């Protein structure tokens, strides 16, 4: 992972973090090797499902950006613009690791899925709600005017 000006996470950043927590780094510490190619091919589509799942709790939604026209990531070096870096690099690697290991190592997959869910739950708890006035659709019964008690 390299640091860029105005950093926004890329698919490759999430993949690299997932390979690290899965203990799939090469002897030299590289996350992208011929041993991880199979994972790399599946990563983009899995990340797209997580973008849709995580968007409601992302800072980009709180900033007023709508997801109605979001485009899925298509390449390994695409920027994940719909999700803020906290979720992209904090939660998504666990979700990706879980999805990649589902058949190969169910115990590890379950452990990573639990961690992913813990992080998402924490962000759900911090998600802002909107408040507004509630329209009285019943009319005429304010202040118990017509109550029989």
Grade residue 12 by pLDDT with cuts at 50, 70 and 90.
Answer: very high
% of residues, the chain, pLDDT over 90: 42
Work out the mean pLDDT of the chain and round it to a whole number. Answer: 82
Q: Residue 1 has what pLDDT? A: 47
Q: What is the pLDDT of residues 76-117, one digit of tens each?
A: 999 898 888 889 999 999 999 999 999 999 999 999 999 999
* 76 phi and psi angles, rounded to 5 deg: -65, -25
Answer whether residue 63 shows pLDDT above 70.
no
Grade residue 146 by pLDDT with cuts at 50, 70 and 90.
Answer: low
Grade residue 129 by pLDDT with cuts at 50, 70 and 90.
Answer: low
Going 32 to 20 to 3 to 75, the CA torsion angle's sign is positive
> How many CB atoms sit inside 10 A of residue 124's CB?
11
């Amino acid at each position: 992972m390299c640091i860029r000006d105005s950093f926004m996470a890329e698919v490759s950043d999430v993949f690299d973090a997932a390979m690290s927590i899965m203990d799939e780094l090469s002897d030299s510490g590289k996350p992208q090797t011929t041993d991880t190619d199979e994972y790399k091919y599946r990563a983009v589509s899995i990340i797209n499902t997580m973008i849709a799942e995580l968007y409601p709790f992302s800072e980009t939604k709180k900033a007023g950006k709508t997801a109605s026209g979001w485009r899925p990531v298509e390449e390994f070096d695409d920027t994940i613009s719909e999700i803020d870096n906290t979720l992209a690099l904090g939660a998504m690697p666990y979700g990706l690791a879980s999805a990649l290991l589902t058949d190969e190592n169910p115990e590890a997959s379950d452990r990573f899925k639990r961690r992913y869910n813990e992080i998402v739950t924490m962000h759900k708890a911090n998600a802002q709600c909107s408040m507004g006035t509630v329209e009285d659709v019943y009319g005429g019964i304010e202040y118990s005017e017509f109550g029989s008690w």
